Amino acid sequence: MRKTLGITLLSLAALQAASASAQDREYCPERPGIDTPACTMAKGRVSVETSIADWTRDDQPGSRDDNILFGDTLVRVGVSDTIEARIGWTPFGHDRMRDSTGVDSVNGVGDVSLGLKANLHNPDGAGFSVAVLPYVTLPVGRSQIGAGDWGAGFLIPVTYEISDTVSLDLSPEIDAAVDEDGNGRHLAYSAAAGLAVKLNKDFTLTGEVQALRDDDPEEHATQTLAALSLAWSATDDLQFDVFGAAGLNDHTPDARVYAGVSRRF
């Protein structure tokens, strides 16, 4: 009887310690920014990360394309201490193309992405942290909002805390990207690097750069961009953010701006 009672008490203590550990893990949304942090959600915790509005402008000789996404959302669910399942979807998008022939507009839903991020070292993102992130995209969206075919990718997010206030993020990625005509796939690969600085306990400023090589059959291109974002941790489980990016060469969209919110449950 005493042995059974002892085992029961030890089990309850272990469960309580695990719960406390999950509660104590600092919230690490993937918004805002280009990089993907290596941290994962604690087991049983859920993060909902949503763009209120996400606008991209691309000016080319003789044309201008404006793409606006509303409610672009990523849901991350901790399934173990080191692994999270992920699903992303854009419920509504608007694309407007203007050129010498007139204006062409498209409205519709975006594609669905499914992924699994497994942390290999320090799932809370402390110190040196590294993870792997395979994902697939399912072509449920409308043309111009969705890609038109399935795609896949693989990331290796790396985070290194230089100090209590400064951290470095790296996100190399390789993709089976969907062709421009929406039929088939091709190789694309990229690398992003960012430096995040905590201005105080609530505000974090992040500067990032990214280079992407896209071997689309219609045109091989290299894109480069720079970005700056600001995150405000209103509470331990709630964050608001703003983000801005500028293309650094002719193959990159000229500008991107968004604002959003992240909430942990």
Average pLDDT, the chain: 91
Confidence band of 15 (pLDDT split at 50, 70, 90): very low
Pairwise pLDDT comparison (101 vs 76), residue with the higher score: 76
Mean pLDDT for 1-21 is 42
- The mean per-residue pLDDT over the stretch 46-72 comes to 95
Residue 58 banded pLDDT, cuts 50, 70, 90:
very high
User: What is the pLDDT confidence band of residue 90, given thresholds at 50, 70 and 90?
Assistant: very high
Strand partners, 235: 238
For residue 23, the model assigns a pLDDT of: 52
What pLDDT sits at residue 246? 98
* pTM of the model as a whole: 0.88
C-alpha 57/C-alpha 252 separation (Å) is 10
Higher pLDDT, 241 or 61: 241
Q: Mean per-residue pLDDT for 147-171? A: 96
pLDDT category, 155, cuts 50, 70, 90? very high
CATH number belonging to domain 28-264: 2.40.160.40
Q: What is the pLDDT of residue 17?
A: 40
Predicted local distance difference test score (pLDDT) of residue 237: 98
Give residue 78's pLDDT. Answer: 98
Return the domain boundaries, the chain: 28-264
